[in-house]
Amino acid sequence: MAAVPITLGGIPLKVMAENSLTRMASQSTNDRVLVILQMHGGNDGLNAIIPVTDYDLYYSRRPNIAIPLKNSARKMIKLDSTLPPDAQVGLHPDMGGMKDLYDRGRMAVVQGVSYKNNNGSHFRGRDISFMGGSFDDYFSSGWVGRYLQQEFAPKTYPAEFPNADMLDPLAIEMGSDVSLIFHQDGNIPTSISINDPKGFADLVQGLKGFQDQGVDPRGYPPAALLNSPYGKELSWILGLEEKSKDYAQRLYDVYKAASATAVTYPERYPFNAPTGSLNNPLSSQLQLVARLLDGGGAGKGVKTKVFLVKIGGFDTHAEQVESYDPTMGGHAALMYHISSAMQAFQNDLRLRGIEDRVLTVTTSEFGRRVHSNGSYGTDHGTGGPVYIFGKGVKPGVTGKVPDLTQDNVDMQYDYRQVYASLLRDWMLVDENKINNDIFFKNFLSGPKEEGTGNYENIVLAEQVISGVQENFVAERFGLLDCFPNPAKESTTIRFRINNTSHVTINLLDNSGKQLKTVISEEKTEGEHSVKIELSDVPPGFYLYQLKTGFVNESKKLIVTK
């Protein structure tokens, strides 16, 4: 694998360019895209996805950093009142954007994701999650690299690439590092970095290779060395240099052709946090992904299959929260950055008409300990939650609240179960390829590594997007039938909501004109009923209307005398 870092819109990124990864996108079975959001440092999932039923135990294990359940202006946001008691959770108060996505059926949570014998090492944990292996594996390739190899018929690089059918890299990574997740055996990483799209295009057009004392203007070694390991590697790198011209111009052209976003992405955390945590590093990355995928509409965007975006700062051993307020601080800012940027990203994709194509999944090398430390922080742990976003997600919560009597969050799902499920149901990869060529084991339904039973077959995305979100929303928000109907003197209107919010119930005539407001007040999550007097309403056909948040629903009412 070789990664060629470039910069578009001020964002460093790398394009994957390696002979076995360089494929014709027209040969892919679909146009779906996977965005991987890396939370670098080990996210504290228990202060993001907060236990509700076991809140007292949660508070006792981390009293100096626990997020308030109630009686506070900044308290946890209850996620979903319809979940069973052992799965009831809330969100950090700065994760309102994720609550909105969840309520709209565009977010899922998977609890207790880890791997066997998680040792809490940043470097080893990151390598394991990127290579798609176990604690005792040392693959030189990554699971996305192996996926791409299986997805596309091979083309010889550089001789056969690029071509009219495929002008784009299959994977783009933000930043300047070369991540194992895209590697295959025998790869040679190279890098070029600049500060803006035009500057990058101008730079690579002017590349001439290094001078080798007149032997060759492009730096080729003497003929006797051409077949040596040095000669082969150097020739290959110089070939990448030549091909980067095509990458640069193509990506710059797509970037220019796409319109700027019509959505306001968040730029700064609005409350107290360390200076280095205030700016939102995800917004610019996600804007760039949306713009490249759009490309001006009508299939003009890049055909890139996988993007990797990054946000750091999760190694929160000390001062994870402010000493005077556990809802504020560095971790709160990170939760706000992810939540608000993903909300803006989904809105951006929707307005560009490409929301059906993109799914985002988070990854972090490990979670944090159940108990806090004396420095208002948390130490390296094991399991933690994974978040999945998009119109194609199967919304909801998979898994239960962790056992808070333990020091670490137990593994409920192997991280490869999550990736394998997304490859099967979102990227539409054949199960045999997933089991035999990507993860080398059946994590969809095969025997567990520890030898007790089979892995649970979890479904986290939809192979066919067909109204799953609508059904999810209808089960949590909406008007129920009133009774009686037809009605004379009065009727009782019932409705359900899934968060504490302002609710308005109106009575309308059959043309939609508002006649009276029945209630306009804040209601807690759950099912409610309200009686409406009809003695002063003439006989006829009417509508009763519920308005709360993004919900605006009406039903018919017949009044008789």
Rounded Cα distance, 547 and 507, in Å: 11
The reply to whether 429 and 281 lie within a common domain is: yes
The reply to whether 25 and 164 lie within a common domain is: yes
The reply to whether 260 and 337 lie within a common domain is: yes
Q: Model-level pTM?
A: 0.88
Q: 362 to each of 15, 29, 329, 536, how far by Cα in Å?
A: 20, 24, 21, 56
Per DSSP, what are the bridge partners of residue 13? Answer: 6, 174
Rounded Cα distance, 134 and 420, in Å: 14
The domain boundary, picked from 470, 496, 512, lies at: 470
The reply to whether 443 and 523 lie within a common domain is: no
Rounded Cα distance, 125 and 115, in Å: 9
Which residues in 235-266 are b (16+ Cβ under 10 Å) and which e? bbebbbbebbebbbbbbbbbbeebeebebebb
The pLDDT score that the predictor gives to residue 534 is: 95
Closest CA to 382 of 94, 172, 114: 114
346 CB neighbour count, 10 Å cutoff: 25
Q: Quick one: angle between helices 229-257 and 281-294, nearest 10?
A: 80
The pLDDT score that the predictor gives to residue 466 is: 78
Q: Give residues with Cβ within 8 angstroms of 214, minimum separation 6.
A: none
Closest CA to 41 of 128, 111, 109, 125: 125
Asked whether residue 221 is domain-assigned, the answer is no
* Residue pLDDT tens, the chain, 561 long: 344 555 666 666 665 543 333 333 334 568 999 999 999 999 999 999 999 999 999 999 999 999 999 988 899 999 999 999 999 999 999 999 999 999 999 999 999 999 999 988 999 999 999 999 999 999 988 899 888 877 764 554 344 556 666 677 778 888 766 688 877 665 433 222 223 445 445 544 544 443 344 444 445 455 555 566 555 555 545 555 555 566 677 788 888 999 999 999 999 999 999 999 999 999 998 998 999 999 988 789 988 899 989 999 999 999 999 999 999 999 999 999 999 999 999 999 999 999 999 999 999 999 999 999 999 999 999 999 999 999 999 999 999 999 999 999 999 999 999 999 999 999 999 999 999 999 999 999 999 988 889 999 999 999 988 778 889 999 999 999 999 999 999 999 999 999 999 999 999 999 999 999 999 999 999 999 999 999 999 999 999 999 999 999 999 999 998
Q: Quick one: angle between helices 415-425 and 143-151, nearest 10?
A: 20
Between strands 306-311 and 171-174, the pairing is parallel
The pLDDT score that the predictor gives to residue 218 is: 46
**Domain interval for residue 523:** 477-559
Asked whether residue 114 is domain-assigned, the answer is yes
The pLDDT score that the predictor gives to residue 332 is: 98
The reply to whether 443 and 481 lie within a common domain is: no
- Helix/strand/coil percent split, the chain, to 5: 30, 25, 50
The reply to whether 422 and 527 lie within a common domain is: no
Asked whether residue 69 is domain-assigned, the answer is yes
Rounded Cα distance, 206 and 156, in Å: 25
The reply to whether 92 and 199 lie within a common domain is: yes
Rounded Cα distance, 411 and 378, in Å: 18
Rounded Cα distance, 162 and 173, in Å: 19
The domain boundary, picked from 420, 444, 470, lies at: 470
Asked whether residue 18 is domain-assigned, the answer is yes
451 CB neighbour count, 10 Å cutoff: 6
Rounded Cα distance, 134 and 369, in Å: 21
The reply to whether 518 and 436 lie within a common domain is: no
The pLDDT score that the predictor gives to residue 173 is: 83
Q: Is 482 in a helix, a strand, or coil?
A: coil
Asked whether residue 443 is domain-assigned, the answer is yes
The reply to whether 163 and 100 lie within a common domain is: yes
* Count of structural domains within the chain: 2
The pLDDT score that the predictor gives to residue 229 is: 58
Asked whether residue 185 is domain-assigned, the answer is yes
The reply to whether 307 and 389 lie within a common domain is: yes
